[in-house]
Structure 1
Amino acid sequence: MSTMQALLLSSPSGPSALALGKATIPDPIPGFVRLRVEAVGLNPVDAGLTGGGHPDWSWPHIGGLDAAGVVDEVGEGVDGSLVGRRVAVHSDLRRDGAFAQFMLADARALARIPDDLTAVTAAALPCAGMTAYQCVVRRLHVAPGQTVLVTGGNGGVGGFAIQLAKAAGARVIATASSRFDRLGELGADATVDYRADNAFDEIRGLAGDAGIDAIIDTVSPENASREVALLNHTGGIACVAGRATFDAVPPFGISPSIHEISLGAAYAAGRPAHVADLSTMLTDLLARVDAGALNPQLSRVIELAHVPDALAEIERRHVAGKIVAVVDQV
């Protein structure tokens, strides 16, 4: 039985429990492809799962949700012409993932990588990019002339949300604790230091009498719940880091909408159209990068062996943009 190099999680005790080892190369199953992994994008959810695990996992587990590489083999029911195709994917967190030389991926979720893009660039997009896409495009329907607030603008999701909202024609206010020039380069029209005592009032002042049309919160449920008070009539908030409440506003006043964002739910819900939409969103993001209309926010490229340290850094929220690990096939 052939084996591969993989980063194995022996127990749900955090990034430090990850170690390089050997695992069996998986055989394709119906509806899936086997991907020869070239690059893996790192995300806060990858770090969080190393500490919490999942009921569907067996041990040791192989993590890593975002992959880019080449289709090596296909399972029953999958078009054989996919073999040899360069693709990117956001995979099902219930299964073994991309911290390995090979992985299985749902064929419906694959997005073809444009010829001029590298696997490293493609791997930076899936989780953070599609989360932002769901917020801005799918759920909040950001439109020209609207005012949008993005919290945690230096994170992967925040950075993509700024760009997508700006591309939609919105005026963007972004919060961070540093690197405000970076937020401006991504498209933010105004920035606020969230550590300031008057940060909330500063945001309200920047919004003006019209208020905020849409909020993308990447910080916490408490933060999101407070921000609801900034929304104008029929405004909406997309919650990435935890669900907001309506407690900050009186009933039947501004009629806000709250959207909970969870890419993984597309797999868990079991509806084929929702899994296929992962491919649609990622294909659009890849095309935008290929056209020079979206910055992939690649901040650092590392080797697979350095993933544990990088995930620990992500947990401390000290990373701006995206870290991608390359997977050596030798």
Structure 2
Amino acid sequence: MMRALLLDRPGPPSSLHLGEVPRPEPGIGEVLVRVDAVGLNPVDYQIASGGHPSWTYPHIPGLDIAGVVQGTGDGPDARMPAGTRVVWHQDLRRPGGLADFVTAPADVLAVVPPRIGMTVAASLPCAGMTAYQAVVRRLRVRRGQSALVQGAAGGVGGFAVQLLTAAGARVTATASPSNHAYVGGLGATTVLDYRRADLDAALRAATAGRGFDAVVDAVSPASAAQGLLLLHHGGGLASVAGRASLDAVEPFGIAPSLHEIALGAAYTHGDDGDRADLAGMLTELLRLVDEGTLNPLPIETVRLADAPDSLARLAGRHVRGKIVVRMGQSRE
């Protein structure tokens, strides 16, 4: 048996409770991992509120997992030696990592470099890979371009600001006033209050009326629609928290590109190559952190018992950086 945070039926974070369940066994091509740390994300409470058809109850949440390989199942794909430190973004259809042990396909795991702690590793997958997919894979931002990040103080926004800055873009960001200094420290040259009445005009003024080459929206469909109208000709918008409609844009005008970022859909709608690419992207993020190009976001660590309250705080949408659950056996 093992400890786990359990969801008996779809519901809010307050319905989660500690309990014991049987320790899982790895199947063909899978590994068994002792969990050290789990990064919390909005998707954790969002999917828990409605449940998923693939779940059996009680369900264990927690998608961003860092831990140590304990053993492997059968098959040539399970080639991860015991003792290897790994991190990954879990398939949301599977039991998650808010437990002492969890299983995962071996091909989605990224190996954690020696100089990176497990708490930092667990803070990277969902937010970091979403930002990486938006900035590097889809928008392909280049030096000298102008970029906007809406919702810059959160996990995705914080990584996006850094990745855009590293690419050589001039970054404008929106955030609450209490987070302006923080977002500026990540690399944004202009930070605006998302609640100001003249936000649209202020954002246009940030590029002297030219418009942005790239927009990363991590707020809402309405915010994404606003960002779409702020693009320069040929610019692109990466939508993280709900897609905007191209209907608001005049045909054959600014000719924008619209990118919907759906990280976990690599499991449900992708193939083996797409799932292996999750490990590839995360390996690249770990390299950037290891070499100092990308800084981990501020991390608040909590106990497993505190995870429901932490998820409720995330639902309030004003958490800066990342919250990571550290399991009792973590040595950090």
Tell me if TM exceeds 0.5.
Answer: yes
- Decide which moves more: 288-297 or 251-260: 288-297
Partner of 2:2: 4
Q: CA deviation at 1:246?
A: 1.5
- One-letter code aligned to 1:310: S
Partner of 1:132: 131
Partner of 2:203: 203
Partner of 1:272: 272
Counterparts of 1:129-278 in structure 2, within 5 Å, are 129-178=128-177, 179-278=179-278
Partner of 1:64: 62
- One-letter code aligned to 1:304: L
- Decide which moves more: 46-55 or 236-245: 46-55
- One-letter code aligned to 1:69: G
Partner of 1:96: 95
- One-letter code aligned to 2:91: D
Q: CA deviation at 1:329?
A: 3.6
Q: CA deviation at 1:270?
A: 3.7
Q: Is the CA contact 2:165–2:188 (under 8 Å) kept in the aligned structure 1?
A: yes
Q: In angstroms, what is the RMSD of aligned CA positions? A: 1.2
Q: Gaps (5+ residues) in structure 1?
A: none
Per-residue CA deviations over 1:262-312 (Å, capped at 9, x if unaligned) read 111100124111111111111111111111221211331111110000000
Partner of 2:122: 123
Per-residue CA deviations over 1:52-97 (Å, capped at 9, x if unaligned) read 1111111110000000010111122234443210010001001101
Distance 2:298 2:180 in 1: 17
Q: Is the CA contact 1:226–1:248 (under 8 Å) kept in the aligned structure 2?
A: no
Partner of 1:42: 40
Partner of 1:319: 319
SS at match of 1:279: helix
Distance 1:243 1:283 in 2: 28
Q: Is the CA contact 2:72–2:80 (under 8 Å) kept in the aligned structure 1?
A: no
**Alignment length, in residue pairs?**
328
Distance 1:88 1:304 in 2: 18
Counterparts of 1:69-80 in structure 2, within 5 Å, are 69-77=67-75, 78-80=77-79
Q: Is the CA contact 1:32–1:105 (under 8 Å) kept in the aligned structure 2?
A: yes
TM-score normalized with structure 1 length: 0.97
Per-residue CA deviations over 1:142-180 (Å, capped at 9, x if unaligned) read 111111100100000000000001101111001001310
- One-letter code aligned to 1:214: A
